[in-house]
Homo-oligomer: A and B are copies of this chain.
Amino acid sequence: MTQSPAPLPFTRYAYLGPAGTFTEAALLQMPGVETAEKVPASSVLSALTMVEEGTVDAAMVPIENSVEGGVTATLDAVSVAHQLHIVAEALVPITFVVASRAPTTLSRIRSLTTHTHAWAQVRRWAEVSVPHAEFIPASSTAAGAQALLRDDPAADASICAPLVAEQLGLHVVARGVEDVPGAVTRFVLVSRPGPIPEPTGADKTAIMIPLPEDRAGALMELLEHFSTRGVNLCRIESRPTGDGLGQYFFSIDLEGHIDEARVADALAGVHRISPKIRFLGSYPRADRRPQQITSEVSDAAFSAARTWIEALRRR
């Protein structure tokens, strides 16, 4: 049985702005966020710094993109530079609209502005549908949209999120122009280390594990600590530490919550072989998909095993 995530105990949020980005759309999914203050930040770094310095309680930042892959820099920043914890995640469908200040048609558009990442995701559509349109890079998709409202805008239209077009009152010339439909971007909400969200039965835990050796088998020994406790991995990525040759760490999301015995036992096992392991948070899954665990790794099984050992030792 899974339970609904509890409302978050925060009143001030930052997010990667400007207003209308997919990141703001992610923030709007958080339970109880409606009445909170929402502050756009100019960069992920800036958003994280606002949390760290206490200007806001939490920040929503992008972390993974099912089309472009992991935006792992964010996770590194959360973990290493800022020592923040993840307290929630959000999944936002990535779909783009073509927006203009005044009603127009695609055939009349001679220039389009957006972020280069967004441009990469609509290239094939653009080659077919607006072959003569020039691309003008913007610092974000929302910034591109806002630029349309200036006097003498540089572009005829922008490629942007539906939310920003709506917020700015732009005219939507075309919808769903992304080349790969169905893409989803993952966002995480980070805060200063504090109370861990309660387990819901459908949770994830994020960790970073330095591993001194890269010999065959070192990763295996690490993973055995998860498999012997029946802990599934959602994501694994090896990363160079930047400290020198042959130095790695593993960035891992696993199924389950640190309050569950199997997760705590696995993390304790990993701590013995890599005492610099970093815990980055346990939080409810955005997809609410309940975990399937076998009876041998249930809390009851861990409890029965401990009771057995203690009875033997008491003799």
Instruction: Show the binding face of A for B, using Cβ within 8 Å.
Output: 43, 45, 66-73, 76, 115-116, 120, 123, 135, 137-139, 180, 182-183, 193-196, 214-217, 219-221, 223-240, 242, 245, 258-259, 264, 267-269, 271-273, 275, 279, 287, 289, 296-297, 301-302, 304-306, 308-309, 312-313, 315
Nearest Cβ in chain B — how far from A147, in angstroms? 11
Q: Which of B66, B138, B236 contacts A240 (CB 8 A)?
A: B66
- Within the assembled complex, what's the spacing in Å between the Cα atoms of A228 and B269? 8
List of B residues within 8 angstroms of A183 by Cβ: 242
A268 to chain B, nearest CB (A): 4
Contact A137 B135 (CB under 8 A): no
Are A196 and B305 in touch, CB under 8 angstroms? Answer: no
Give the number of copies in the complex: 4
Find A227's partner among B220, B234, B308 (CB 8 Å cutoff).
Answer: B220
Flag if A272 contacts B297 (CB, 8 Å): yes
Q: Is the CB–CB distance between B76 and A123 below 8 Å?
A: no
**Other-chain residue from B116, B217, B313 in contact with A258 (beta carbon distance below 8 A):** B313
User: How near does chain B come to A238, taking the closest CB pair, in angstroms?
Assistant: 5
The 8 Å CB contact of A76, one of B69, B115, B182, B239, is B69
Contact B259 A230 (CB under 8 A): no
Contact A238 B242 (CB under 8 A): no
Query: Which residues from chain B contact A259 at a C-beta distance below 8 Å?
Result: 313
Q: Are A70 and B67 closer than 8 Å at their CB atoms?
A: no
Q: Which of A193, A272, A304 has the most CB of B within 10 A?
A: A272
